[in-house]
Structure 1
Amino acid sequence: MWTRRNYLVATVGIAALSGCGGDPGDQTGTTEGTETGEETGDEDAEERPEGVSEEEFENGPVPDVYLSATSLGNEQRDPDDLNAKADVAFSEYDAAVENDAHQPGTCCANCADFIPDKNGDAFGACAEVDGYVDGADWCTIYESLPEPAVPEDMSEADLATAEVPEQYRTADSQTGEARDPDDLQSQEDVQLSESVEAIADGLAQPGQSCGNCAEYIPDKNGDTWGACAKVEGYVAAEDWCAIWKHVSAEL
């Protein structure tokens, strides 16, 4: 059966052969505005937001904007019911790949429990785990984002070029970028594919998904699909493309 995943993989292959899209290797899962362990005298520390201690980074509390926020998978965070990072083998992606439980391409950015950056410090949070979370992290309670159902009277092959519902056509992205329906790139030209597969195949960097992209327009009508301020067609939070831009860049 021809599925949306088949379609996306096929278009990525075509685009790659034709040289379309940007170089994802030039983009990373974090942005400027954080201080490194070297700068703070802690060589083993990963980058942390300025003024945040290692204890706060690992165990919270997170900023107020995340305390009871909703994740990419529509899970509400309960600050009184969270797992400690140590209890879920929480790690950065490079370490996660050594864990037998890790599946290639999976990371917080394409996890249903991830809450993307909301204050411009390049970190997000999790609906199930305490502390600051980067999109390129991973843990053993990773939960895949559910693939949205194909809208009625539409085939999977139609999704890439279909006109999106009215509420998305001129909507603002999650960072305020207005969508111009007359100035959009095709999904083929930007190598749109599912984030997990793009990361596993080396097209995307760990930590990159539409869910934490500055151009993404989240679900507005309850069908779990979203849209993009720069790309035509239906777009899911679990997707990725070559013009990905970290949400922090525009906050």
Structure 2
Amino acid sequence: MEEPKSGAGAAYHYWSRRHYLVATGGIAALSGCLGGDGESTDGGGTTTAGATPTTMADDGEELPDGVSAEEFENGPVPEPYRTAVSLGGEQRNADELFAKGDVQFSEYDEALENDAHQPGRCCANCDDFVPDRNGDAFGACSAVQGYIDGADWCSVWEELPEPSVPEGLTESELPTAQVPAEYRTASSQGGEERDPDELNAQEAVQLMESVEAIADGLGQPGQSCGNCAEFVPDKNGDGWGACAKVEGYVAVEDWCSIWEHVTEEL
């Protein structure tokens, strides 16, 4: 059984260059952690790349074309997600997943009424989230069954780790520093090539941590650099990424005002 992850009952505090949420409380024992009877990979759950959500569940949720409400809730998820690695580096194991009902899984607006939820937290800025990989507008989770929207939330939400300041730089230099060579003309996860001569300053696009941006009403639930079409993920193992539109070092848990959903480019 997968142990519940930190994330519930947390409080705000300030740390490093961003406002950070750190877990201070545990989660009560969850009875729905699955073993061998977890999310099956047999049949169903096939989603065509580029499909748009058209099917409606009983509660009005828009579902990917050809996916039943049962599959949406419990899986299996499409092949690209079944053993995928999350934003925080957690590999998904279909035999070690929680049922949504056992982790208070809900949409962001509903989560606001939950005492365990902290403002700004959503799946898109969670360590366990696997962003959209096939253009159907949904992702998955390395800890929870079924299809996941970036604007959802659950009680095993876990903060993404803050990358260390790279050697030779100071924290104040990160927003304007030249990124390593492998990022300078790299393609983003949405296929946009980075041009070092055509980049926005981080200050100009209000770059900040996603949790903070959503809590303050600047960003919308479900938005983070991790699921932005312009983001260039970590290429050298230092935990930092870059952006095809913004200068300097950018972390997966960040957000800015020119955010674009990766689905738009898949």
| TM tier, smaller | 0.7 to 0.9
Other-structure match for 2:88: 73
* Alpha-carbon offset, residue 45 of structure 1: 2.7
- 1:195 and 2:210 correspond: yes
Return 5+ residue gaps in structure 1 as ranges.
Answer: 7-30
Alpha-carbon distance in structure 2 between the residues aligned to 1:5 and 1:89: 27
Q: How well do the aligned residues superpose, as a CA RMSD in angstroms?
A: 1.6
Other-structure match for 2:43: none
Other-structure match for 2:261: 246
* Alpha-carbon offset, residue 32 of structure 1: 8.6
Other-structure match for 1:182: 197
Alpha-carbon distance in structure 1 between the residues aligned to 2:68 and 2:113: 27
Determine what percentage of the aligned residue pairs are the same residue.
70
More helix by share: 1
Alpha-carbon distance in structure 1 between the residues aligned to 2:241 and 2:160: 13
Alpha-carbon distance in structure 2 between the residues aligned to 1:43 and 1:113: 27
* Alpha-carbon offset, residue 36 of structure 1: 5.5
Amino acid at match of 1:224: G
* Alpha-carbon offset, residue 92 of structure 1: 0.4
Matches within 5 A, 1:67-146: 67-146=82-161
Matches within 5 A, 1:140-179: 140-179=155-194
Amino acid at match of 1:79: A
TM-score (norm 1): 0.86
Amino acid at match of 1:96: A
Aligned partner of 2:69 among 54, 63, 69: 54
Structure 1 residues 138 and 50: CA distance shift in structure 2, 3 A: same
SS at match of 2:197: coil
Return 5+ residue gaps in structure 2 as ranges.
Answer: 1-13, 20-49
Structure 1 residues 90 and 176: CA distance shift in structure 2, 3 A: same
SS at match of 2:109: helix
TM-score (norm 2): 0.81
Alpha-carbon distance in structure 2 between the residues aligned to 1:163 and 1:212: 23
Aligned partner of 1:34 among 40, 53, 57: 53
Other-structure match for 1:219: 234
* Alpha-carbon offset, residue 3 of structure 1: 4.0
Amino acid at match of 1:169: R
SS at match of 2:218: coil
* Alpha-carbon offset, residue 43 of structure 1: 5.5
Question: Per-residue CA shift, 1:81-111, capped at 9, x if unaligned?
Answer: 1111011111000011111100110000000
